[in-house]
Amino acid sequence: MLLSLLILVPTFVLFLAAVVILVLKWLRPGSGIAWLIAAVGAFLSWGILLVLHSRLPLTFSTIRWRPEGVFGSSPAFSLDEISWPFAVALATLVVAVILTATARYQYQTNAVAWAGSLAITAVGLLAVQAANPLTLLMSWTAIDLVELLILINSVADRQLNERAVVVFAARVIGTFIVYYSAVGNQTTWHSFQFFNIPSQAGLYFLVGTGLRLGVLPLHLPFQQEPPLRRGLGNVLRLVPAASSLVILARLPAGVVEAGFAPLLLGLTAFAAFYSGMLWFTSSDELAGRPYWVIALAAMAVACVVRGDPGGALVWGITLILSGCCLFLYSARSLRLIFIPVLGIWGLSGLPFSPSAGGWAGLTSSPVGGLNVIFLAAHILLLMGYARHTMRQGDSLQGMEQWVNLTYPLGLILLAVTHVLLGLGGWSGSRTIGIWWASGLSLILAVVIGVVLRRLALPGGERSTGRVSSWLQPVTQTVYRGVVVVLRLDWLYRLLWGFYRLIGRLVNNLTSILEGDGGVLWALVLLALLLSVFSVEGIR
């Protein structure tokens, strides 16, 4: 019992550190010890999770809730070969956020942001370690509420606040779909755990998590990223994604019937390619962050549809760790270039790389059109990663000496943890994979990148002069046209226009009914309804 209780210790440490930081800020504003507390708490949580790897699997259950007719199972947490890699990835994320924050003092990184990062990660740990639907749904709800409150209170832009509410609503719908899948299996409700998910409930879990991730159906969290800090913004984007991706890795292999598989694969292939294109063409890595999340999440969903839930784990860990190697790489120098290079290695899927095992769920025999689309999406991800890596960033020159230690250490921990997880973090992690797919993707990414550079398209700002004067503007015009169509901004504007039109109609109707003639209009509507019912009764 005491050993199982260790599952909750990393979460408790993160919560405690967050509370202490907030109390110190209230008692002693401007105290510099807040960063040290955040770093110690994050390191302790990370270290405890690493030690627990030798004790897997571990399960902890709380006291049984009553009445059992309402709560078929009590909150329970499990640390096994699926939840442990995600937990370590989240713990590494928050350590890196705190350590790299030392290089971002010019952006007024403060103690509240550190405390928020620790608290959100703590809730995320509870979510990835959830052992049953009740625990999962409670953790999802907590994450969604915290994110909504932070976004609404941090962003003054009305349109971004509207998008935050829409994202929250989409995730709530996904949560209810998962809830329905559990409640709909009343015969197994009392023994419903993630290790014995019924096949008839698995499809609902897939759709619910796909909706929360923005993949099924495709919907972008934000067309424009809210102006959040680089550290807190990464935590807010990646923790909710991890809490959903871990469930995909637990779904049974035959979760999707053969009749639905082509449709779902088509949707996920489009989502991956579309998001990959926008990731590649984004102005910088932070603007492209939501597309990175959706593209890799779509690849994870596709692996589940094709009967390889282990691929969801591979792409999920890659989403978090390879992504953060770039997202937190704000101060750049040639001596640190090996860090994003390791991030590209983690994404590449080359033999024995962390993502090598993910290709099995994206390729099939014989090679078909969907395989080509997933390959193209992966090429776009590689090209976008390389393009954003080569951008200019801040400089470490002029900063305090200790920043030159903590900042690289945070980035190195991300890259090294990803490599080590790929070598032994889960069953079958150290594998050759499908070498021809990864090799072809990398070669095409390099070739296409060189060609685009010569054509002076995005990713190739220089022109060599070898392209004729008429070819360059034509290729740029065609490219921009394709991007405009794929971005679907026109569709979003149409939907939002329709939504606001309905809102204005409702507001006008409310004003009429609440005005001086409101009673008269109510009587008119009542008479109209009575006449309609009378006609129906005569018929």
- 79-106, pLDDT tens digit by residue? 989 999 999 999 999 999 999 988 876 5
Average pLDDT over residues 158-166: 69
pLDDT at residue 72 greater than cutoff 50: yes
Position 369 scores a pLDDT of 78
Cβ-contact 48, 94 below 8 angstroms: no
Question: How far is residue 415's CA from residue 459's CA, in Å, rounded to a whole number?
Answer: 24
Cα torsion angle, 133, 138, 142, 144, sign: positive
pLDDT at 493: 61
User: What's the rounded mean pLDDT across residues 293-299?
Assistant: 94
Quickly state the pLDDT bin for 489 (edges 50, 70, 90).
Answer: low
User: Which residues make Cβ contacts (< 8 Å) with residue 26, sequence separation at least 6?
Assistant: none
Quote the pLDDT of residue 492.
54
Q: How confident is the model at residue 417 (pLDDT cuts 50, 70, 90)?
A: very high
Across residues 245-263, what is the average pLDDT? Answer: 84
Average pLDDT over residues 142-157: 78
Calpha distance 347→326 (Å, rounded): 12
pLDDT of 465 strictly over 50: no
Residue 418 has pLDDT above 90, yes or no: yes
The per-residue pLDDT of the chain, averaged, comes to: 80
pLDDT band at 463 (very low <50, low <70, confident <90, very high): very low
pLDDT the model gives residue 297: 94
Length of the chain: 539
- 24 class by beta-carbon count within 10 Å (0-12 exposed, 13-18 middle, 19+ buried): middle
Which has the higher per-residue pLDDT, 447 or 400? Answer: 447
Cα 265 from Cα 263, distance rounded (Å)? 5
The larger pLDDT score, comparing residue 98 to residue 366, is at 98
Contact between residue 203 and residue 259 where contact means Cβ atoms under 8 Å apart: no
Per-residue pLDDT at 362 exceeds 80: yes
Residue spans of the domains in the chain: they are 2-450, 456-487, 489-538
pLDDT of res. 456: 60
Segment 389-415, tens digit of pLDDT? 988 877 777 677 778 888 999 999 999
DSSP H or E segment with residue 411:
helix 403-424
Which pTM does this prediction carry?
0.84
Phi, psi angles (nearest 5°) of residue 357: -75, -5
Question: 380 or 158: which carries more pLDDT confidence?
Answer: 380
Least confident of 193-197, 215-219, 261-265: 193-197
Phi–psi pair at 227, nearest 5 degrees? -75, 70
Among 127, 338, 411, 375, residue whose Cα is nearest residue 243: 127
Q: Pairing state of beta strands 76-79 and 58-61? A: antiparallel
| Dist CA 425 CA 56 (whole Å) | 12
* Share above pLDDT 70 across residues of the chain, in percent, rounded to a whole number: 74
Range among 78-82, 503-507, 521-525 rated most confident: 78-82
Q: Looking at the predicted structure, is the pLDDT value of residue 325 above 60?
A: yes
Q: Which of 27-31, 140-144, 297-301, 470-474 has the highest mean pLDDT?
A: 297-301
Q: Which long-range contacts (CB under 8 A, 24 or more apart) does 370-374 make?
A: 370/265, 370/266, 370/269, 373/269, 373/270, 373/272, 373/273, 374/269, 374/272, 374/273, 374/299, 374/302
Please tell me the predicted confidence (pLDDT) of residue 471.
Answer: 47
Using 50, 70 and 90 to split pLDDT, how confident is the model at 488? low
